[in-house]
């Protein structure tokens, strides 16, 4: 039986978790003379905003952390953690919160849809105590770089699933397009060079779920030969792209891709 896209995404999460775990182990190697890993790392409870739980989403090179946490009423609020303290920045939030090295925060504003459900109602930028609403509606923030470029998915409201990969730069919203006549695309990551990666539906029977890189105003396919589904997750400033690929026979693997070289991790 041929694997479905949901099967692939489930396997993808496991593969990517293992790949990221391997990278973290490499990056967290003990310094010379360290007795144990426990002596090198410290786990810090960031606390909550008076509620029972909190979730960290993003951290910058200055150690500032953003995420969302429940307040005393149970509502989820966007928080900033710095200098050992957690604070509510005044926005109802949830998934999709990022902070860059300038300390600027971008993310989704959540609210009631009028029927009792909590949904994304706007996007925001927060800096130095001031919140600016972007007013790009039906938009899910997926990333922020150190040049304040924001990537989002514009969510189709007609139930078609035809979402659009989007870049917000200097207040201008740009539709990145699709690959090979496809009708939908989503972003996954952006680096400080402005290179964006994501996936796009295509009209190709061989590769209906293709990976793309967008740079200098052009979307290009990553052309992973034989991949039925390719799902990229992020790109760093060196151009390393991570993700996972599924082949026609149902096998899948996490990968790192750079300069036309694909390294698989089964």
Considering the domain boundaries, does residue 75 fall inside one?
A: yes
What pLDDT score was predicted for residue 172?
94
Q: Residue 141: is its pLDDT beyond 50? A: yes
Q: Which of 80, 108, 135 is the last residue of a domain?
A: 135
Q: Are residues 54 and 185 in the same domain?
A: no
Bridge-partner residues for 234, per DSSP? 242
Q: Are residues 219 and 114 in the same domain?
A: no
Tell me the mean pLDDT in the region 12-37: 48
Q: Are residues 204 and 75 in the same domain?
A: no
Q: Are residues 165 and 261 in the same domain?
A: yes
Q: Which of 100, 135, 170 is the last residue of a domain?
A: 135
Q: Are residues 61 and 187 in the same domain?
A: no
Task: State the virtual CA torsion across 187, 190, 195, 201 in degrees, nearest 10.
Answer: -10
Which stretch of 170-174, 180-184, 241-245, 255-259 has the lowest confidence by average pLDDT?
Answer: 180-184
Q: Residue 128: is its pLDDT beyond 90? A: yes
**202 or 265, which is more confident?**
265
Considering the domain boundaries, does residue 13 fall inside one?
A: yes
Q: Can you tell me the distance from the alpha carbon of 171 to that of 213, in angstroms, rounded to the nearest whole number?
A: 22
Name the percent of the chain lying above pLDDT 90: 57
Q: Are residues 206 and 81 in the same domain?
A: no
Q: Which of 105, 135, 165 is the last residue of a domain?
A: 135
Residues with Cβ within 8 Å of 94's Cβ and at least 6 positions away in sequence, in order, are 68, 76, 108, 110, 118, 120
Domains contained in the chain, number: 2
Q: Can you tell me the distance from the alpha carbon of 41 to that of 143, in angstroms, rounded to the nearest whole number?
A: 27
> pTM of the predicted model, to two decimals?
0.83
Considering the domain boundaries, does residue 40 fall inside one?
A: no
What pLDDT score was predicted for residue 146?
98
Q: Are residues 130 and 176 in the same domain?
A: no
Residue 179 tokens, joined:
């690959």
Q: Which of 119, 154, 116 is nearest to 134 (CA)?
A: 154
Q: Residue 35: is its pLDDT beyond 60? A: no
Residue 135 tokens, joined:
């007013």
Considering the domain boundaries, does residue 89 fall inside one?
A: yes
What pLDDT score was predicted for residue 216?
94
What pLDDT score was predicted for residue 144?
98
Q: Are residues 260 and 201 in the same domain?
A: yes
Name the percent of the chain lying above pLDDT 70: 81
Considering the domain boundaries, does residue 41 fall inside one?
A: no
Instruction: Please measure the distance between the N-terminal and C-terminal CA atoms of the chain and give it in whole angstroms.
Output: 20
Q: Are residues 206 and 265 in the same domain?
A: yes
Q: Residue 24: is its pLDDT beyond 50? A: no
Tell me the backbone φ, ψ of residue 51, rounded to 5 degrees: -95, -160
Q: Residue 208: is its pLDDT beyond 70? A: no
What is the separation of C-alpha 176 from the centre of its chain, rounded to a whole number of angstroms? 17
Residue with tokens 């993808």: 12
Q: Are residues 208 and 158 in the same domain?
A: yes
Q: Are residues 121 and 209 in the same domain?
A: no
Give the structural domain span for 85: 49-135
**169 or 157, which is more confident?**
169
Q: Are residues 112 and 163 in the same domain?
A: no
Mean pLDDT computed over every residue of the chain: 84
């Amino acid at each position: 039986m041929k694997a479905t896209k949901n099967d692939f995404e489930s396997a993808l999460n496991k593969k990517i978790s293992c790949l990221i775990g391997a990278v973290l182990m490499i990056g967290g190697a003990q310094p010379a003379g360290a007795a144990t890993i426990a002596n090198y790392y410290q786990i810090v409870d960031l606390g909550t905003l008076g509620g029972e739980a909190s979730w960290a989403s993003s951290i910058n090179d200055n150690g500032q952390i953003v995420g969302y946490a429940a307040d005393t009423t149970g509502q989820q609020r966007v928080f900033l953690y710095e200098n050992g303290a957690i604070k509510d920045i005044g926005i109802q939030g949830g998934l999709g919160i990022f902070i860059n090295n300038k300390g600027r925060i971008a993310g989704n504003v959540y609210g009631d849809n009028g029927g009792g459900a909590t949904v994304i109602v706007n996007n925001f930028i927060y800096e130095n105590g001031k919140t600016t609403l972007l007013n790009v509606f039906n938009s899910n923030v997926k990333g922020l770089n150190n040049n304040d470029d924001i990537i989002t998915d514009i969510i189709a409201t007609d139930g078609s699933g035809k979402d659009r990969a989007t870049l917000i730069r200097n207040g201008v919203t740009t539709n990145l397009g699709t690959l090979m006549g496809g009708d939908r695309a989503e972003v996954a990551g952006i680096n400080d060079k402005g290179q964006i990666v994501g996936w796009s539906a295509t009209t190709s029977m061989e590769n209906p779920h293709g990976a793309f890189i967008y740079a200098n105003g052009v979307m290009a396919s990553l052309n992973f030969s034989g991949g039925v589904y390719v799902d990229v997750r992020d790109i760093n400033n060196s151009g390393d792209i991570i993700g996972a690929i599924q082949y026609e026979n149902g096998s899948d693997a996490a990968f790192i891709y750079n300069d036309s070289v694909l390294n698989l991790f089964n």
